Amino acid sequence: MLGKINDRKLPVSPPADAGRPAACRTWDSRLCVIMRLLLIEDETSLLDLVQRSLTRAGFTTDAVGTADEARGALSGSRYDAVVLDLGLPDEDGLAILRDLRGGRDTTPVLILTARDGVEDRVTGLNTGADDYLLKPFAMPELIARLKALLRRPSGALGVVLEAGNIRFDTAGREVMVDGRLLALTAREMTLLENLLRRAGRVVPKRHLEERVYGFDDEVTPNSLEVLLHRLRRKLAGGGFSGEIHTIRGVGYMLAETAA
């Protein structure tokens, strides 16, 4: 039952009466797309149960039972979130998490484990986990927590984001270029953070506007461009090795190195 990686390209078919993806009918309509999860769990019966429940809840899930299979899946696909068991047969689940974060991957990770010590929990969270759920758990709680993670603007909390020679401590709200502190306004930081969390990928303009501006802010069609212009100037002045590209009509992308 494990190692379903080979099937992972098969879409989960929505029920015949569904006009839109299952996720849209079951929860937050703002996330009206199928979310793709990776489940890493070596207990076959639990894995099957969780996978079935998550599929019913509208998620597309790939399931693996070893750290080795997990690494294979993670290197070949991009997931919206990962559910990670710590006690795996071939390796400690934390090693997978450490490698993900070490590789600047901010995919949300929820640890699912029987280890209930405070120290275990702290270690998990410090390694870059976004949430922690103890076994035994109630399925609705797992689903609710995953939804909460996916609603967050981005991945791991308290993680240091890096791209090229820039380093953004998201907890301390500090940006360094080559070890030198870069003075940015709160808005410039929010904009940079959202671009950094998706470095190498295009971030829609609309998404950035929603993150940067509140309901009460006066926003003109040009506001974001003006802010980006200032951010680009400060980054270039600070010696940033990469650049922020404009993808016309779509959004923006932060590249680690200048073209």
**Chain residues that interact with Ca ion, rule: CB under 5 A:** 42, 85, 87
- 252: its two tokens: 């923006």
Strand partners, 134: 113
Q: Closest distance between Ca ion and the C-beta of residue 108, in Å?
A: 20
Q: Closest distance between Ca ion and the C-beta of residue 55, in Å?
A: 21
Of 71 and 232, nearer to Ca ion (C-beta) is 71
* Phi and psi at residue 202, to the nearest 5°: -80, 130
Of 46 and 150, nearer to Ca ion (C-beta) is 46
Q: Closest distance between Ca ion and the C-beta of residue 137, in Å?
A: 13
Of 41 and 105, nearer to Ca ion (C-beta) is 41
Of 40 and 163, nearer to Ca ion (C-beta) is 40
Burial of 137 (0-12, 13-18, 19+ CB in 10 A): middle
Outline where 14-92 has alpha helix (H): 22-26, 44-56, 67-76
| Residue nearest Ca ion (C-beta atom) | 87
Could you tell me if 37 and 54 are in contact, meaning their C-beta atoms sit under 8 angstroms apart? yes
Q: Closest distance between Ca ion and the C-beta of residue 232, in Å?
A: 47
Strand partners, 36: 60
Q: Closest distance between Ca ion and the C-beta of residue 46, in Å?
A: 8
Of 42 and 131, nearer to Ca ion (C-beta) is 42
Rounded CA-CA distance 98/80 in Å is 18
> Of how many residues is the chain composed?
259
